Amino acid sequence: MQEIQKINTLGIIGVGLIGGSFALALKKAGLVENVIGYGRDQQSIQQAKDLGIIDTIVTIEEMGKIADVIMIATPVKAFLSVAEVLAPVLNDKAIVCDVGSTKAEVIQWAKIAFKEKIVQFIPSHPIAGSHSSGPVAAFATLFHERNVIITPLAENKSEDVAWMQALWEACGANVQLLDQAKDHDDIFAAVSHFPHFLAASYMSFMESDAVRRQALHMGGTGFRDFTRIAAGSPEMWRDIFLSNQEAMLAQMNAFEKEFHRIRTLLENKDADQIYQWLSTAAQARRAWTTIPTDKEK
């Protein structure tokens, strides 16, 4: 295996679950000498230092001048304001990545903020998370056997993309490259964003009526599994929905047609078609759970 270039100084903007776990994973792998961090919440960023996730608390301006790799691990809607502060002071050798769940809008903002320095920005999306948040939730193995999507820009240098990929792989991740930001956003609207919308919608539906609310205590493991993701950060998911509005609405329109099709089967008591529908869904779910990861292929 080719030796991975070490990072002298890693900068994390937003030292929460994702940013903190990235820092801890690279520290564990022995690939970073010094970690500096910035956060808008002084108590949280101090906690990150106390926990040993970062070594020094700095400003964005200070980070831009000295860091070799900078991760912007903020909510999606905060990306532009952070990038606009970072861009003017970004040193020429630094690589910047994000961790956002949407890409088209983030890339658009990055081009506005970084201008000719866009060559230094490599869009990334780790498919990992937890219902816990903040630096206290961070752990070194968060990305182990999880997918990370890199959406390289035409302006990026191939060696920079390769280094970013190697760093994610050093965290234990399975890295996949997607050429088009729209493809990324369409895919994750289908497999992440819209499923979260469904879980949140159903919990809101249950909470909105006294009788249904009383029924919640009767829910079992199936209900718990179906609604688990509804407990995610409202701020983060609001930003994702708004940032990926077009793809989300397309998923809603398609699902609405399917919902009405299945409703018609039930209204008509079409037992054969209902069975076929459930059978197809069950087979698809079983097939999905047996798809090998890139490391297993």
Res. 296 pLDDT band, cuts 50 70 90:
very low
Average pLDDT over residues 114-137: 91
Task: Note the pLDDT tens digit of each residue in 182-210.
Answer: 999 999 999 999 999 999 999 999 999 99
Q: What are the angstrom distances between the C-alpha of 123 and each of 71, 126, 189, 217?
A: 10, 10, 17, 42
Domain with CATH 1.10.3660.10 in the chain: 183-289
Nearest-5° Cα angle at 260, 254 to 266: 140
Nearest to 125 by CA among 105, 144, 154, 100: 100
Domain with CATH 3.40.50.720 in the chain: 7-179
Cα 131 from Cα 284, distance rounded (Å): 27
Contacts of residue 225, Cβ cutoff 8 Å, sequence gap at least 6: none
Q: In the chain, pLDDT over 90 holds for what percent of residues?
A: 90
Structure tokens at 42: 């002084």
Contact 241, 248 (CB under 8 A): yes
pLDDT at 293 over 80: no
Average pLDDT over residues 94-112: 96
CATH number of 7-179: 3.40.50.720
Average pLDDT over residues 44-71: 97
Res. 223 pLDDT band, cuts 50 70 90:
very high
Architecture of domain 183-289: Orthogonal Bundle (1.10)
pTM beyond cutoff 0.75: yes
Cα 197 from Cα 174, distance rounded (Å): 26
Res. 167 pLDDT band, cuts 50 70 90:
very high
Contact 150, 175 (CB under 8 A): yes
Reported for 152-155, long-range contacts at CB under 8 A and 24+ positions apart, including other chains, are 152/122, 152/123, 152/177, 152/179, 153/107, 153/118, 153/119, 153/121, 153/122, 153/123, 155/118, 155/119
pLDDT at 73 over 60: yes
Cα 259 from Cα 235, distance rounded (Å): 28
Cα 71 from Cα 74, distance rounded (Å): 9
**Strand partners for 204:** none
Task: Note the pLDDT tens digit of each residue in 247-279.
Answer: 999 999 999 999 999 999 999 999 999 999 999
Contact 251, 190 (CB under 8 A): yes
